[in-house]
Each structure stands twice: as structure tokens, then as C-alpha cells.
Amino acid sequence: MPNKILINVGVLTNPGGVSALYKALDLESKKLADYFQIFNSTKEKNNISKFLRLIKKYVQYFHLIKKYEYLLINPSLLPNSFYRDSFFTYLGLIRNKKIIVFWHGWNEEFYNKLISSKLRQIIFKKTFSKADAFVILGKIFEQKLFDLGVNPDKKMLVFFNSADNSHLIGKKLSRDISEKKEITLLFIARFDKNKGMFKSVEIFKLVQKNFPEIKFKLILAGDGPEYKKLNAHINQQKIKNIELTGFIGGAEKHKIFLRSDILLFPSHYGEGMPLSILEAMTYGLPIISSDVGGIPDLIIDGENGFMIPKNSNNELNEYVKAIEIFIKHPDLYKTISLKNRNFAENNLTPENAGRKLINFINSI
């Protein structure tokens, strides 16, 4: 017999994003839910093969969902995902299933196009807005869904996702920046446009200039379409003490977090709740981030990190000032580090996060 819940995912073996969340939650082996993978594990050759694969997946899904009571759909507010996942939602509505829509990435440009397009609004209102409940990555998205026509009486869960803590089980972390001979700043994310890796480099240059008596290092961990451009930029400017790792995972990522002291996240991207912030909190790193997406729901300025307004006229210097505060106030650094670690243990472990998500679904 299948579980009551069927969850759409991309490919569970893919790194990052929705797949990484459900791989960490591991709900299938715990017999709490089943997964339906909507992509193939091998790369498709062209758009025709992608289209044929999607048609096949729709047919499989329509027959499969007869066995389930709840369907959890996982779209991002991006064009491809919007259209693709609206039809998965529609198929669930035809079968009269209880549907939960879990919104992940949120692109403001597409959101504005959606608001101003009658056709897109019709698609949204005939599919996503008819869901029984919604999972969002921050309170900011609640009002945005209402503005799109979602009934305010619908159930909403603000869910901070989950971070893999498998390498930390049974271990204690104690961070003290005052004892460090070298302070390591970390940026870790997919290298997409506006994600913040180039700004991290500029922040690093300012920090080195402003504090020549202190040794700093910047780790840029990730891969993506901007990787070559970033590497060329660093080499062209001959910036020292930058480590460009490429994609990392598992034990290698664990070592990087242990080596790092502060997470930088100067993103202007359409963020939901970035996994890198959750992972950094799990390792007790203080966070210095832009105030995009759902991040302000998790990072409270001055309490467990610092929030830098994305529209600040002096944005780079604001990041440098935040780093300076940690350097000059090591006790504050230790307090925030411990606070983030405790919060992660109580809220972000796969066990706690998975239980919260399943309990919400079963309450509908």
C-alpha cells in the first residue's frame, strides 16, 4: 500500500534546491510519503524530448494519484515551473485530491508579469489558488499569494526548510573569533546572476583594505553559469586569499563550514529561503545577508546576524561594518553563533522539519 502523501520532486539525486530538501527529509524511507520524480536522471537532448517526457510524466501522474489522499506540489515562481506545475495541480483537482502547494523560489519580475497578465492570472486562479493549503518560506509571500487571489482563509505554513546535520550528530561546536589567526568569510550558493558572489569579492577587497593588520580569507563555494566569469574576474584583478572550490557536497562541504567563520549572502536574486543560510546556522555561523525573500523571517538584525537592505546606497560598506562588529565584539560573535546553532538543532534538522511538514499536511 502507498503512503497517503505523494510529493512531486525534480530528481532526488540532483544537488541543491527542492531535491536536496526532500533527499534530506528522507520521507519515503520513513514511510511518511512517496516521491514522484518529474525529470529524468539523464540530460535530455532537445526540447522535443523534454516535451515528450513531460507528457509521459503527466499521464503517469494522473493514473498514479488515484491511490493518494494528499498531493504536495513544489513549484517556484518562474515561467517554466509555473506552467509545468500548474498542470500537475490541475490533474490533482480533476481527481478531487487534497492539494498542498509548496512555493520555493520566488522571482519578483515574473510575479509582476503575473499580476499584470489576465491569461496568467486565469491559469493561477484555475489551478494553484484552488489548492487546499500552502507552504511558504516566509511571511512576505503570504500577502503576495492573497494579492494573486488566494483565499485568506486557506491554511498557510511558514516553513524554513531543512539542513543536513548528519556530519554533526554527537559533536559539539565552539566558535571563538578572537582566537583565529585567519578570519574566513564564506559565500556558498549556485553561481547565478545576482546571487552575490561578485559582491562578496568586492566586500572582501574592502575588508582587506580597511583591516590590513588582520589576515582574511574568502571561500567561494559553488558552480553555475557565472563560474568562469567569476574566476576570470578574480584572476584579472589578482586578488589574493580567495579560494574558489567549485561545487561541494557531503564531507567536503562539512569541512568548508568548519573552516569558515562568517557567512556572506549579498544576494539580489529571487530567493525563498536559501539552503546555505540554514546550513550555516546549523554550523553556528553568524549570517550577514541582504533582506531578500523569506530571509528576514529567519535572520533578525543584531540578534542572530545582520540584515543589509538590498536598496542601500552604501551596501558594500554596510557589509564591512557588520564584519567589523564581529571582529571588535567577539562575545557577540560567540552569542550569535550559539543562538544559531541552538535554533538549527531545534528547528532545522530533517527530523524536526519533516515532522512539522507531515503534521501540517495531515491536519488539512
What are the tens digits of pLDDT across the range 273-297? Answer: 888 999 999 999 999 999 988 898 8
Exposure string for 19-51, b = 16+ CB within 10 A, e = fewer: bbbbbbbebbeeebbbbbbbbeeeeeeeeeeee
CA-based angle 339:342:346, to the nearest 5?
140
pLDDT tens per residue across span 234-283: 999 999 999 999 999 889 999 999 999 999 999 988 777 888 999 999 99
pLDDT at 11: 85
Please tell me the predicted confidence (pLDDT) of residue 40. 79
Going by pLDDT thresholds of 50, 70 and 90, the confidence category of residue 143 is very high
What would the mean pLDDT of 128-157 be, rounded to a whole number?
Answer: 94
Question: Taken in order 39, 41, 46, 49, is the CA torsion positive or negative?
Answer: negative
CATH code: domain 5-162+349-362 is 3.40.50.2000
**pLDDT for the residue numbered 127:** 98
Q: What's the mean pLDDT when you consider all of the chain?
A: 92
Q: Considering the chain, what percentage of its residues have pLDDT values greater than 70?
A: 98
Cell numbers given for 154: 486557506
**CA–CA gap between residue 194 and residue 279 (Å, rounded):** 21
pLDDT digits (tens, 9 = 90+) for 342-356: 999 988 899 999 999
pLDDT for residue 2:
62
Lowest mean pLDDT among 16-30, 61-75, 174-188: 16-30
Residue pair 281/347 in contact by the 8 Å Cβ criterion: no
Cell numbers at residue 364, please? 488539512
Between CA 181 and CA 283 the distance in angstroms is 20
Q: What is the mean pLDDT of residues 179-196?
A: 92
* DSSP codes, 284-350: T--EEEE--TTHHHH--BTTTEEEE-TT-TTHHHHHHHHHHHHHH-HHHHHHHHHHHHHHHHHHTSH
Q: How would DSSP label each residue in 206-225? A: HHHHH-TTS-EEEEEE--ST
Whole-number pLDDT of residue 312? 80
**What residue segments make up the domains of the chain, in order of their start?**
5-162+349-362, 177-347
At residue 357, does pLDDT exceed 80?
yes
At residue 307, the pLDDT reads: 95
Pairing state between β 216-221 and 183-188: parallel
Q: Is domain 177-347 given the CATH code 3.40.50.800 in the classification? A: no
Q: What is the pLDDT of residue 268?
A: 87
Q: CATH topology of 5-162+349-362 equal to that of 177-347?
A: yes
Instruction: Indicate whether 88 pLDDT > 60.
Output: yes
CB neighbours of 12 closer than 8 A, spacing ≥ 6? 19, 22, 23, 35, 37
